[in-house]
Amino acid sequence: MPNNLYTFYTTENFLDDADFLRYVKYNRPVDVSFWNNWLSSSPENIKSFQEARLQLQILLSYPPVTVSDDFKMLLLQDINLSIDRHQNKRRKKVVRLFWGSGIAASLLVAAFALWFYQSTVVVRSDYAENQLVHLPDGSDVQLNANSTLTYRRAINWLSQRAVKLEGEAYFKVKHINVNQKQIKRGELFIVITKNARVQVLGTEFNVKERHNQTNITLVTGKIQVSATQSSKQYILKPGTFIEFGPNGRLSASAQTLNSSTAWLSGKIVVNQTSVNEILREFEDLYGYTVILDSPALGNKKIDGTISIKSEESLLFTLKNILNVEIKKEGKTIYLKNR
């Protein structure tokens, strides 16, 4: 111990000294003998030492408040109880959260599955707009203007691939039949229109459903067609078409392919076709009402190929062929003899 250092201590130094504090506070024999020893050497600053000791005595004079054992024990019990309660609450919360999120997740999955299974996809092409639709099963459908194709979102998971058509569309159905002698239901592709039902395996064909008539033209392969009204079935050969009205079959013939599928390349092929028919096509595709000056004009028959890529080009052609004047008012077009 640096005995001699203490000799230079002032009262403040003593008061700040931890060893001195312990000596005054606890009176431990080791400390007492040390300080007695130091005092016996009659240090010069004995007064500082004594003053510091007195001051500390007064500073430490506040009687200690004693904690009762009961207080200590009961408080500890309470603390442990509160901690237990807190932990239980948290555990319950975690468990609840776990189950809660599990249930929520399965509900979500179920809801999604239900929605996926139940919901339908509706693809609608506007006037003057063609649309190519890729079906989930790999088939492609080219929608003509002003047409609607509807199918179930889960088409791949259903027992049969079925689509509903209003308007006109060209189908390229993906062939998924493995064994030709054993055709499973799921391998069939079905197009349903107002008046007809087309059942195929994998072919290309055109279906046109307008004004209560359905015209089906087969391009390649083989298709089975039936009227909605009767159960009578027809087998179509490539290059032939069949037409259905509300009461069943209207006509069937070997039509030149071009006329049914010409729209794909933006044309219509007419062969002794009346102006009325052409104008109706125009109305269907572009959403106009065409009014003729004289009925005779509508009965005029035309041959040839007309571009329908744009309404302007079509109107321009009609104007020249029919020698008429064309007046457009909103969505109505007037054709007048010149």
CA 113 to chain centre: 13
Burial of 140 (0-12, 13-18, 19+ CB in 10 A): middle
146 contacts 285 by C-beta, under 8 angstroms: yes
Q: Which is nearer to other proteins, 83 or 105 (CB)?
A: 83
CA 35 to chain centre: 86
Q: How far is CA 195 from CA 154, 190, 317, in A?
A: 25, 13, 33
Whole-angstrom distance, CA of residue 312 vs CA of residue 83: 83
Whole-angstrom distance, CA of residue 312 vs CA of residue 71: 99
Whole-angstrom distance, CA of residue 296 vs CA of residue 282: 18
Q: Which is nearer to other proteins, 25 or 96 (CB)?
A: 25
Q: Which is nearer to other proteins, 31 or 311 (CB)?
A: 31
- DSSP, res 6: H
12 contacts 50 by C-beta, under 8 angstroms: no
| Shortest separation between residue 87's beta carbon and other proteins, angstroms | 9
Q: Which is nearer to other proteins, 69 or 312 (CB)?
A: 69
| Shortest separation between residue 1's beta carbon and other proteins, angstroms | 19
| Shortest separation between residue 44's beta carbon and other proteins, angstroms | 16
Q: Which is nearer to other proteins, 83 or 183 (CB)?
A: 83
Whole-angstrom distance, CA of residue 203 vs CA of residue 222: 7
Q: Which is nearer to other proteins, 36 or 231 (CB)?
A: 36
Pairing of strands 204-210, 213-220: antiparallel
Q: Which is nearer to other proteins, 15 or 141 (CB)?
A: 15
| Shortest separation between residue 137's beta carbon and other proteins, angstroms | 54
DSSP count for the chain of H helices, then E strands: 10, 18
| Shortest separation between residue 154's beta carbon and other proteins, angstroms | 48
| Shortest separation between residue 2's beta carbon and other proteins, angstroms | 19
**End-to-end Cα, the chain, rounded Å:** 132
Q: Which is nearer to other proteins, 8 or 71 (CB)?
A: 71
Q: 297: helix, coil or strand?
A: helix
| Shortest separation between residue 89's beta carbon and other proteins, angstroms | 11
| Shortest separation between residue 90's beta carbon and other proteins, angstroms | 9
Q: Which residues contact residue 127 at a Cβ distance below 8 angstroms, ignoring those fewer than 6 apart? A: 145, 146, 285, 286, 287
Binding site for other proteins (CB under 8 A): 11-12, 15, 18, 21-22, 25, 27, 32, 50-51, 53-65, 67, 71-72, 75-76, 78-80, 82-83, 86
